[in-house]
């Protein structure tokens, strides 16, 4: 078993001064914590993997392809591989668990 605590992951991510911390990598998936603060720009480009976002905290909009929705704590969003997507209008610091399948390269 591998078990993680969000507060410890957030501290590690912040200590590394990066927006993204990959904390699990297995044969068929990888998982990370993504952080964008209120008002920040999301620099993401489309990925070669399917993704699932689970919003741990914060508020924002996300556009996936041509569709836009509001997200907040508890929201889950699926993003197919190769589709443009961005968080925007981030009104509260955003913390998101990201699952990539297959693992992010």
Tell me how far CA of residue 93 lies from CA of 24, 27, 70, 77, in angstroms.
23, 31, 14, 18
**Is 71 strand, coil or helix?**
strand
Please write the tens of the pLDDT for every residue from 6-51.
Answer: 999 999 999 999 999 999 999 999 999 999 999 999 999 999 999 9
| Full-model pTM | 0.94
Q: Look at residue 104 in the predicted model and tell me its pLDDT.
A: 86
Give, in degrees to the nearest 5, the angle at Cα 53 between 90 and 2. 125
pLDDT (tens digit, 9 = 90+) per residue, 44-67? 999 999 999 999 999 999 999 999
């Amino acid at each position: 078993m591998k078990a993680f605590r969000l507060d410890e992951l957030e501290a590690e991510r912040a200590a590394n001064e990066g927006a993204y911390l990959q904390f699990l990598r297995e044969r068929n998936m990888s998982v990370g914590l993504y952080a964008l603060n209120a008002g920040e720009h999301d620099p993401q480009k489309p990925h070669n993997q399917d993704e699932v976002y689970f919003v741990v905290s914060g508020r924002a909009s996300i556009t996936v392809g041509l569709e836009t929705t509001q997200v907040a704590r508890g929201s889950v969003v699926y993003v197919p591989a190769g589709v443009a997507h961005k968080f925007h209008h981030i009104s509260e610091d955003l913390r998101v668990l990201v699952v990539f399948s297959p693992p992010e390269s």
